[in-house]
Amino acid sequence: MSKKQSPDGQTTYKRRRGDRRDGRLLRDVDPMHYIMPIIYPNRCDNEAFISETLDVSNINAYLEKKNENIEGTRYSHFLVIIAALLKTITLRERMNRFIVNGNTYQRNEVCCAFTMKKHFNDDGDEALVFIHAKDSDTIDTLYEKVNEQVKSVRFENVVDSSSDAMEFFTKKLPRFLSRFLVKFMCMLDRHGKVPYSLIETDPYYSSAVLSYLGSIKLHAGYHHLTNWGTTSVFLTVGEKTVRPFYNRRGELSIKDSIDFGFTIDERLADGYYYAKTIRLFKKLIENPELLELPLSEAVRY
């Protein structure tokens, strides 16, 4: 794809032969990253798991200020985490790649998704929330985007297209036919040919999927990737809890903390690149005021 600038400041690309609707084919990857997807073709066979426990006391103070004069929906820890992840992926572009059929692609946009429980009970329905980010987005514009989607699926009973498609396959068709069509869709998926209307809110076609396990009182842990779709990053977010932290002088203090679990397709980059990526994410979590900068504005870390 050739590069150009859209009226809203986003970088767009003219599609070339070999590109997909959702990503441009990388034609100049180094030999190791060219060969790895061929000999290790499945995303689920190439998972690297990274766990971190981070101090969130600065987020507590930041949220107290942000929510001082807000009536209604407040800024939350999860919103800060969403913004930090999107800024990290924007600034660390290899985290926004995906591999399909032995080819590596650079995704055309930065986006994330998560599943939301409409009602906290055993039979409560789930809904999909899909956030499309722009380079100019900040935590404040993301606050509006997230709230708008959560409100539409929770209170206005808007059904996202992916859930609607699953409902059709499982309840409107005979079982043998639905199984055949799902398998046919898996074949289309490998070639980037699944109709957009069926996957526009599918979380596994996003840059990253988040699972806020803390909202149901669970710790963060490992979550698998999937061979379906294009997602190369999965982030689990645990429950906020107090833990001991030691500074460089060995002094002990008790602080609020959250566990994070990253599952990443290891074929995208090397360990050094991932280590720097986690360092940036940690910097943003511990300094949430940096999220008031546009996602594409670099920070020192």
Question: Given pLDDT bands bounded at 50, 70 and 90, which one contains residue 134?
Answer: very high
Whether the per-residue pLDDT at 6 is higher than 60: the answer is: no
Question: Cβ atoms within 10 A of the Cβ of 21, count?
Answer: 10
The top-scoring range by mean pLDDT among 17-26, 133-142, 166-175 is 133-142
- Are 95 and 232 contacting, i.e. CB atoms less than 8 angstroms apart? yes
Give 110's DSSP letter: E
- The pTM score is 0.88
Cα-trace Rg, the chain: 20
Domain made up of 19-160+201-292: CATH architecture:
2-Layer Sandwich (3.30)
Cα separation, 68 vs 30, whole angstroms: 50
Whether the per-residue pLDDT at 252 is higher than 80: the answer is: yes
* Amino acid 163: pLDDT: 66
Question: Given pLDDT bands bounded at 50, 70 and 90, which one contains residue 190?
Answer: confident
Closest to 139 measured CA to CA, from 82, 65, 179:
82
Cα dihedral sign, 156-195-191-169: positive
Cα separation, 131 vs 250, whole angstroms: 41
Cα separation, 282 vs 53, whole angstroms: 9
* Amino acid 185: pLDDT: 86
